[in-house]
Structure 1
């Protein structure tokens, strides 16, 4: 007997259900005027293509930035970004969420930070979170990428729910932060505004401030387009914020987890391209923060990359090392 339609249907029903991945393709794309306001930088912010694209310039005078018109409690936030090329030491491009203007001493933050580099070295990408003013605990991770982010536009996205935060690059999840009891109030939980900025981070961004911004290469131009702001907006006057159900604000599906296939891609990315994780930084934390789940293989790989930071050695015993560049291979 052949493979009947009934058998085929039964087979499909046994497959694990998976929601579609968050993507600008199934979410509304907004123009700058619909979603954002100018933050700083005067003429260093330039609108193009009827407000569908934005150029942020950094020169000797100033950087530039913009912010969302609305305040959000959870959602999916995305932009297509093309970074400055050539010598970019000290240049910081940031795409992030924050409520520091509302909660000065106990703010929350979710960060994509792009840290420039000297010529011949690829841009480095850093993710970080703060909750309830927990700036004394840095939760940074840094990565190389499998492409040159200055050659073309690539999509960078943040999914933020009440239970997890997921960072995406071109729809590939690169980091998942789950809310745990051990984190307490240090998981971002208050409404935030979305920001995009370019600025001079000479004091720290490249090799701890060893290489500064060289303005003979200015202006440095970061390009933004394909803006997605898909979340629950809240009134900043409200003192009690309502629960946000992302599935009710649009017909588009926003998953609350990572599918098996996407998790495989995430693990591959982290294995090939992650160069720093706070969880394994013995110089900063003698005991890893409570939410860290340590992976012996990940620890061993990072220790080979930097035996001082990720090992048990002492700094004065470390010899000068040249870090190998991350392979430009797809995940």
Structure 2
């Protein structure tokens, strides 16, 4: 480590030197963003989706004529995907900002974050779902413990052979485990692409469709930055992760340790507002098998 001296300054410069040296000697503390021009394509919206700031920022907009969306250039078969999102501010009732992984075909796999808009002052609802072979209906919903419209926050998927984990700012909020040994399908064979869209869903999004989109507030805009994908890129039927090697891909075998299990339970105890595994009215004849296995395990 280098040392800097300033005799006339006495000790006044010393704290600043320490901070400077700490920053330049710990690159892991510095967020290095990719270039969105290289990572994603804006796929629809007739100009309502825009990549700005030399590829460091992407915005999606929605008005009464259309929403907009983008998708990742790569497909992945397992991955750790992160993106920072700032949601639509103010009265966003009726709008949905979707951020999800999805495969192609009629029997698709899918892992969803959907952010349901709200009346100004009400909390956003984070709607999550997992599809396997075209079947979903595995919804869990949460409030957030911060205002997701004021600043960027990081929303992440961990998808590996053991489980799918949803994260908010590095805190797990939901885990969907691989329970194939019990005959429960798990998304493992179909490569998925990352998608995001901003669209109108006022028939169901806010209070079950009771609150409609106020188009006088349009255009509605959500912002995205710092896309990161540590994933097994799928190309021409071949994965970039040879034999699921974990030597350079620690996320492939990453589990939730006891600390993160506690953090997960904290979110679910304090901020979960809907869990399909406890919806007796919806499943009067018994809960789906993965709910029962989870309870016993």
Q: Give the structure-2-normalised TM-score.
A: 0.83
- Over 3 Å counting, the alpha-carbon distance change for 1:65 and 1:50 in structure 2 is same
Partner of 1:226: 226
Runs of 4+ that moved beyond 4 A: 24-28, 239-244, 252-255, 293-296
The gaps in structure 1 that reach 5 residues or longer are 1-23, 297-331
C-alpha root-mean-square deviation of aligned residues, in Å? 2.4
Q: Which moved more, 1:285-294 or 1:144-153?
A: 285-294
Partner of 2:169: 170
Partner of 1:66: 70
Partner of 1:158: 157
Number of residues of Structure 1 aligned to a counterpart in Structure 2: 266
Partner of 2:125: 124
Q: Give the structure-1-normalised TM-score.
A: 0.75
Partner of 1:191: 191
Alignment of 1:127-138 (within 5 A): 127-135=128-136, 138=137
Query: Is 1:57 paired with 2:56?
Result: no
Query: How far apart in 1 are the matches of 2:294 and 2:234?
Result: 38
If each structure's strand is expressed as a fraction of its own residues, which one has the higher value?
A: 2
Quote how far apart the aligned CAs of 1:188 are: 5.1
Quote how far apart the aligned CAs of 1:185 are: 2.6
Query: How far apart in 1 are the matches of 2:74 and 2:169?
Result: 25
Quote how far apart the aligned CAs of 1:197 are: 0.7
- Over 3 Å counting, the alpha-carbon distance change for 1:92 and 1:244 in structure 2 is farther
Contact 1:158 1:166 in 2 (8 A): yes
Partner of 1:140: 139
Deviations 1:49-84 (A, max 9, x none): 211110100111111111011110001011000001
Quote how far apart the aligned CAs of 1:42 are: 2.1
Q: Please state whether the residue corresponding to 1:185 is helix, strand or coil.
A: coil
Q: Please state whether the residue corresponding to 2:291 is helix, strand or coil.
A: coil
Query: Is 1:273 paired with 2:271?
Result: yes
